[in-house]
Amino acid sequence: MNAPIPAHLLPRLEPRPMPAAMLDSLKARFGERCSTAAAVRQQHGRDESPIDAPPPEAVVFCESTEDVAEVVKLADRYAVPVIPFGVGSSLEGHLLAVQGGVSIDLGRMNKILALHPEDLTVTVQAGVTRNQLNTEIRHTGLFFPIDPGADASIGGMSATRASGTNAVRYGTMRENVLGLTVVTPQGEVIHTGTRARKSSAGYDLTRLMVGSEGTLGVMTEIIVKLYPLPEAMSAATCTFPSIDAAVRTTIQLIQLGVPIARCELLDRHAVRAVNRHDKLTLTEAPMLLMEFHGSTASVQEQAATVQEIASEHGGEHFQWATTPEERTKLWTARHRAYFAGLQLKPGCRTVTTDTCVPISRLAESVTLASEAAEAAGLMHYIVGHVGDGNFHLAYLVDPNIPAERETAERLNRELVLRALAMDGTCSGEHGVGLHKMDFLVTEAGAGAIDLMRTVKRAIDPKNIMNPGKIFAL
């Protein structure tokens, strides 16, 4: 049995029981697609965060925008919370039912609705995952580049404004979502944006919804940008004598304008974890994992420049991967780093950080965070999309030792406050959810939070859309 978690680390629970009449209506309309089974509810009441909360009272498996609208109309009638659910890969408690309610599972909404290769756009249902999308459009010579690591749903990625390994070249979901179909808190279906690459028509409702974490509506269809597959791709690994040297190499590459597609940092703990998990033999030292896209000549030129700059900072053991199989092996290992890291301490939970700072302050931020974790004696590892100033430090804590969680949360807070002092942010790509609500207040200020509350109350006066997330009402 786990030791009790200190009260200040527990989520704020405000149960809003579902009336029997609503549950009866859901079961009458959806039949077996409305489940109150304990196992199903538990599955939909748990993500990858260290936070525990009671599960939702019911789960509805929707298959269309119309299905979602019907659930939300009932929720509006009875003032019952609604929590959108993709694949459950979020890290900040986004899908936890802190006020009870119904979880809307969008996993069956997994169709490619309209592919326009000539316009470099595709319209998908919210439950389509990034791997599924890229598999189904491969024949066009196009791809969707946003890669957060996990095989997340496009809806979930839009809701959290995700980015990932390719952001340094292709941007984030904010730049790559053109339009949405959204079910409002009243059950109305609206459309935002178009397939056109730009518009100055009215308020930008698409950008308002992207990153709203399900607190303003349920996204059911998304229009995203596509990109041509590069003529040539090459990946490389390089080890460094210190984290500082690896990060300073990255900074110099960015400041020189080298068009690197991906630039990922793994500290020695992360390298050790992926070696064990994926049976690799990478040198267990701070490492950059990089990828170059372009013509054959440009890729070769980029690679030569990177190797020269890295060497100036003590980089060595360059290993190149030019075949698809070799690249896939490397990036699969990177994508599995989170789960590989968990194996360093079996049975542990993770407290993850997600700060992003101006590139000039990145080396200082990463080095101080690493030194603080080492000094505290807390098992951890670091991975990061350092090409855009974003990195993740994962503290591994024993759920039976509350003191470890306390230490991890203290270090996380110190890390965030340093990032904010550097003009950075508490969340580069994971969103706010429950875990970073206090940090958002510190970052944005009371006036900005009040304005967010005004928007939320205007759109969702009954506070039924994923309540208790981002900020408290």
Do residues 50 and 350 touch, judged by C-beta distance below 8 A? yes
Is residue 450 situated within a structural domain?
no
Q: Rounded to whole angstroms, what are the CA distances from 384 to 277, 352, 372? A: 19, 12, 17
For 33-76, the pLDDT digits (tens) are 999 999 999 999 999 898 999 999 999 999 999 999 999 999 99
Residue 313 lies in a domain: yes
Report the mean per-residue pLDDT for the chain. 94
Measured CA to CA, the distance from residue 160 to residue 49 in angstroms comes to: 14
Q: Per DSSP, what are the bridge partners of residue 390?
A: 356, 385
Residues 133 and 218 both lie in one domain: yes
How far is CA 355 from each of CA 43, 133, 215, 242, 255, rounded to the nearest angstrom?
28, 29, 22, 20, 20
How much is the average pLDDT of 451-471? 98
Residues 219 and 130 in one domain: yes
What is d(CA 43, CA 39) in angstroms, rounded to the nearest whole number?
A: 6
Q: Is the pLDDT of residue 346 over 70?
A: yes
Residues 263 and 246 in one domain: yes
> Residue 217 above 90 pLDDT?
yes
* Residues 99 and 201 reside in one and the same domain: no
Same domain membership, residue 118 and residue 88: no
**Reported confidence tier of residue 391, pLDDT bands at 50, 70, 90:** very high
- Half-sphere exposure (CA, 13 Å, Cβ side) for 331? 25
Looking up residue 357, the CATH number of its domain turns out to be 3.40.462.10
Angle formed by the axes of helices 362-376 and 402-421, nearest 10°: 160
Instruction: Say if residue 242 is in the same domain as residue 129.
Output: no
DSSP 3-63: PPPPGGGS------PPPHHHHHHHHHHHGGGEE--HHHHHHTT--SSS---PPPSEEEE--
pLDDT digits (tens, 9 = 90+) for 79-126: 999 999 999 999 999 999 999 999 999 999 999 999 999 999 999 999
Task: Band the pLDDT of 383: cuts 50, 70, 90.
Answer: very high
Instruction: Summarize the confidence of residues 182-204 as an average pLDDT.
Output: 97
Both 224 and 237 in one domain: the answer is: no
Measured CA to CA, the distance from residue 34 to residue 118 in angstroms comes to 40
Q: How many domains does the chain contain in total?
A: 3
- Domain membership flag for residue 470: no
Residues 237 and 222 placed together within one structural domain of the fold: no
User: Does 140 share its domain with 202?
Assistant: yes
Residue 372 belongs to a domain: yes
pLDDT band, residue 2 (cuts 50/70/90): low
Domain that includes residue 221, residue range: 112-228
Place of tokens 């080890």: 239
3-state SS assignment for residue 370: helix
pLDDT at 1: 43
The residue-averaged pLDDT of 453-470 equals 98
Q: Determine, yes or no, domain membership for 60.
A: yes
Torsion from C-alpha of 375, 238, 248, 428, nearest 10 degrees: -70
pLDDT value at residue 3: 60
Q: Which of 228, 251, 277 represents a domain boundary (last residue)? A: 228
User: Of 172, 206, 228, which one is at a domain's C-terminal end?
Assistant: 228
Distance CA 162, CA 232 (A): 26
Residue 445 lies in a domain: no
Distance from C-alpha of 164 to C-alpha of 384, rounded to nearest angstrom:
9
Mean predicted confidence (pLDDT) in 142-152: 92
Task: Determine, yes or no, domain membership for 449.
Answer: no
Q: Looking at the structure, do residues 177 and 299 belong to the same domain, yes or no?
A: no
Name which residue leads in pLDDT, 63 or 332.
Answer: 63
The answer to whether residue 427 sits within a structural domain is no
Residue 225 above 50 pLDDT?
yes
pTM of the model: 0.93
Query: From CA 122, how far away is CA 117, in angstroms rounded?
Result: 8
pLDDT digits (tens, 9 = 90+) for 260-301: 899 999 999 999 999 999 998 889 999 999 999 999 999 889
* Claim to verify: residue 378 and residue 241 sit in the same structural domain: yes
Domain end call among 189, 207, 228: 228
State the pLDDT at residue 188: 98
Task: Verify that 169 and 268 share a domain, yes or no.
Answer: no
CATH, residue 33 = 3.30.465.10
Share of the chain above pLDDT 70, in %: 99
